[in-house]
Structures are given as structure tokens and as C-alpha cells.
Amino acid sequence: MTLGALTFNETQLQAAVAGRDARFDGWVFLAVTSTRIYCRPSCPAVKPKREHQRFYPSAAAAQEAGYRACKRCRPDASPGSPAWDWRTDTCARAMRLIGEGVVDREGAAGLAKRLGYSLRQLERLLIGEVGAGPAALARAQRAQCARTLIESTDLPMGQVAFAAGFTSIRAFNRTVAEVYACSPTELRRKSRRTAQAAAGAIALRLAYREPFEPSNLFGHLAAAAAPGVEEWREGAYRRTLRLPHGPGIAALRPGPGFVECRLRVADLRDVTAAVARCRRALDLDADPHAPMEALAADPVLAPLVAKTPGRRVPRKADGPEYAIRAVIGQQIATASAATVAARLAERYGEAVEDPEGALTRLFPAPAALAEADPDHLPMPNARKRTVLALAKALADGTVEVGPGADWARSRRALAQVPGVGPWTVEMIAMRALGDPDAFPVKDLGVVKGAERLGLGAGRALEARSLPWRPWRSYAVQYLWASSEHPTNKLPTN
């Protein structure tokens, strides 16, 4: 059976349902014709007879076919399909942009325009891949966001509707009733409320696929944090966010089976975008089993994978920010690069208020840095020229590093920026674009890790890495972790 870009045979699908295999969650959705409910394959409910089972490649496709979300396993809240995380084709780029709320802000036609397609062409592609067009996919996302806010906050229903992306209370009420078979008020009454966040904050739980190793992920983000823009406080990585309608602050803390996310946004319409950026920063939609299987086939990496399975790639919530900071970090220590980034934010970044910590600024937008006085950039002259050239290219769209970027095109454009070499391109590809196969072969941490493990260097290491494809970004995490460095472990304070 083919579900979009994925092909499963009947035996695989039935085994996944019978074994309640959580590895299939988010890849496929099980619908039951007798109850008109759709579930995760891992749903603990009694399994239906085979003749009553139908499979769909997305929650939106199941909803379009007239099925309601299971109230027990919450299938629409499962981590997104990993395919959209490691693919760079048009459908993957569209799915990432839909996750950022582009359809809510610009409409389906705006999404198509961003991707260089007509709306009809894009609808045909998405229906063929995931069984639903952009409007239906965005509707499913709004419904899931609404339920999360209904059940986890005390926001008035009108504000929930606004935050979830609905344009009217009527559409909000109708969609919630159709997808969950109850009204918003009933959803809130039936929910098992969790501890609330501080006043003005929204507390959420971000799901991921097991296994999940947080040490290098949070360790790297904390060690490279630019004061004022990012911080590690009370066991959480906190940072400011530049969102479509204003600034925000996110606090992310690893928890048992989920990542705690506490958001503050200036405009509730930015909740969807903020969640999408937090998920991308922590690589939460990844399928950890695919890279683990590929890397474990190497006898040198196999023991490392077995020791700490489920490593993720530490990305950045803001692609343009990381691109600039990758240039800043060329040939200097992590702490020094963070200090320079903080100084730039202090001079050129927008001020923010943080009632819970010490965050004070957004990292400067590319347009602001492109107009900066070179004398005010605290770095060598050659690097100043590169930062200014890259900022201009990001500001005018010559270089794109957002969720809708074409990775190959972005790599080519980055390589044309004076002073941006192979190391910088690969680091930006790995941590801003999200390319799972980025491999900065000359990175000092990669070189040291490879030497320690006897994997060679330069061309020899490049050749040795070919069987790891397309998961070399994950191999980098194991190479980095083979040395003692503060980025390899969770901070203790």
C-alpha cells in the first residue's frame, strides 16, 4: 500500500497495528469505518477487525474522509511525519511552511506563490502525497492547536480561536465539533488540566519519538547561548523569538516523554509559528531509528549509538540568525562567538521584556545588520565584510535559509557569498536548513572525534562517511560527543 511517498505492505501495516508500534505514529493514521474514528497505530484501544481498517498518510486526510480524532490516543498531536524533516522537495517544503502557519497568514495561494507553483499544481502535489490540500492541512493544524490551548490554558475561547488561526468564532466552533465530536467548552470540561504556567505564559508539551537523548541537544544550545538572546535557567533553555506579528520568548525543558514548552508571545496569532520553530530547533519530528540503523552498521560508530541512542541535531529556531552566527563563529571559540553575537544584539536588536529571566533582545534581523556601520562590528575586517554581505543576501532573498528553502539552491547561493566557505555552508545546512546529510568534514570537533575513533581525516573521512548517508548530520553528533566538551552534556545549573 502506498501512502503518499511512503510504501508499506499489508503485513507491515497490520503488524504495526497489532503490536501498537509507536514507530509508525505520525507516518500513517488508522481509521475505523465502524466507528468513524481515526487513531495512531499505537492506540491502546481494542483493535478493529481488518475489514474495518483504513490507512491515511495524514490526520488532515482522515478528517477530509469524515473521521474524527480518537480522544484516547490523540492522533493529531503525534510528532509530524519525519519525511518532511529530511526531504527537500516541494511537498516537504510546503509541509514545513504550513507548520509555520503560512496558510493562516497568507492563504493557500500565498503558500503556492512562495514555492513558485500555481495553487492548482500545489493542491495536486499535496493531495497525491498526503491526501489533502493546503487548506485542509492548515485546518487540521488549527484544530490541533485549538485543542491544545483549550485543554492546557485558561484563555477565553475567543482568544483560543484567534491564537489557533481561525478567522471567526463560528469556524472555530464548527471545526472543533467536526474533528473532536464535542464543543470547545466540553473539551475543556473533560480535559485533565495540568499545572498552569506563570501569568501571561502558555504551557505546552511537545511530543517526540523515542528514544530521545537530550544531553548534546540542550548542552549545545546552552553552551553557545548569546547572553540577552538566550540563556540556561532553572533547567530550561530560554530564548527570544522573532515571530511574524511580534517578539516572543520560549522556555524549553526536557521532560519524561515530552519537552516542556512555555511560551510568551506579543500576539496570540504567533503561537503556531512559535511551536513550529521550537520543534525544529530541537529536531523533535525526527525518526531516531533511521539514522541509528544506518550509523550502527559502522562497527566504529555502533558502540556509540548503542550507548546513547536517539541523539538529535541541535538546530536554531531562527535560520537567518544562525547563518550570521555561523560566520561569526568561524575560527573562534564557542564562548567568544556567543559574546560577539550578544554585542550585536545589544546594538542592533529589538528590545524585549522578560518577566521570568534575563532575556533582553532579539537577535538583529538581516536587514538591520546589512545597514550596520562596519566600525561597530566587533570582529576582524574580513569577517565584517562576510557578515555584511550575507546579511544583505538574506535580507533581499538571494539566500534563503527558512523552512521553505530549497536546500540545494541555498547551498549554491551561500557558496557565492564572499568569505563563506565549505565549513560555513555545511554548518548552516545542518543547523539552519535542517539537512540531515550535512557533513562539515573539516570542523574541529569532527576532526578530533574522527581521529580519536580512528576514522581518518579529510578525503579518507569523507569516503568513510558515504555509507552513513543521508544521516551524516547525526554522525556529526556522535563525533562531537566523543570528546569532552561542555556542549556534550546538560548544564548542571
**Per-position b or e across 64-100, b if 16+ CB within 10 A of its CB:** beebbbbeebbbbbbbbbbbbbbbbebbbbbbbbbbb
Confidence of residue 3 (pLDDT cuts 50, 70, 90): very low
Say if 53 falls within a structural domain: yes
Is 161 among the domain residues? yes
pLDDT tops 80 at residue 142? yes
Structural domain includes residue 490: no
Same domain for 52 and 8, yes or no, is yes
* 145 and 179 share one domain: yes
Q: Is 91 a catalytic residue?
A: no
Q: Are residues 106 and 186 in the same domain?
A: yes
Asked if residue 481 is part of any domain, the answer here is no
Confirm if 252 and 236 have CB atoms less than 8 A apart: yes
89 in the same domain as 62: no
Q: Report the domain count for the chain.
A: 2
Residue 29 belongs to a domain: yes
At 321, which amino acid appears? E
List the CATH number of the domain containing 55: 3.40.10.10
Residue with cell 548530520: 473
Write the single-letter amino acid at 429. Answer: A
Residues 24 and 40 in one domain: yes
Name the amino acid, one letter, at 270.
D
The range of the structural domain enclosing residue 10 comes to: 2-75
Domain termination residue (choose one: 190, 224, 242): 190
DSSP for 101-128?
THHHHHHHHHHHHHHT--HHHHHHHHHH
Q: Is residue 401 situated within a structural domain?
A: no
- From the list 39, 73, 91, 278, the catalytic residue is 39
pLDDT tens per residue, range 290-317: 999 999 999 999 999 999 999 999 999 9
Give this prediction's pTM: 0.92
What pLDDT sits at residue 351? 97
Judgement on whether residues 185 and 88 belong to the same structural domain of the protein: yes
Amino acid at 54: R
Is 292 part of a structural domain of the chain? no
- Domain with residue 123: its CATH number is 1.10.10.60
The verdict on 89 and 10 lying in the same domain is no
Q: Are residues 58 and 154 in the same domain?
A: no
One domain, residues 119 and 55? no
The yes-or-no verdict on residue 343 having pLDDT over 50 is yes
* Domain shared by 71 and 89, yes or no: no
Residue 433 has pLDDT above 70, yes or no: yes
| 361 residue type, one letter | R
Answer yes or no: do 177 and 130 share one domain: yes
Phi–psi pair at 38, nearest 5 degrees: -115, 150
Q: How many CA atoms lie within 13 A of 313 on its CB side?
A: 31
Cβ atoms < 10 Å from Cβ of 397: 9
Is 150 inside a domain boundary? yes
- From 54, 75, 96, the end of a domain falls on 75
Q: Is 145 designated active site?
A: no
Per-residue pLDDT averaged across 340-345, rounded? Answer: 97
User: pLDDT tens, 156-192?
Assistant: 999 999 999 999 999 999 999 999 999 999 999 988 6
What cell does 194 get?
Answer: 495540568
Q: Which of 75, 110, 134 is the last residue of a domain?
A: 75
| pLDDT digit string, tens, across residues 22-45 | 888 888 899 999 999 999 999 999
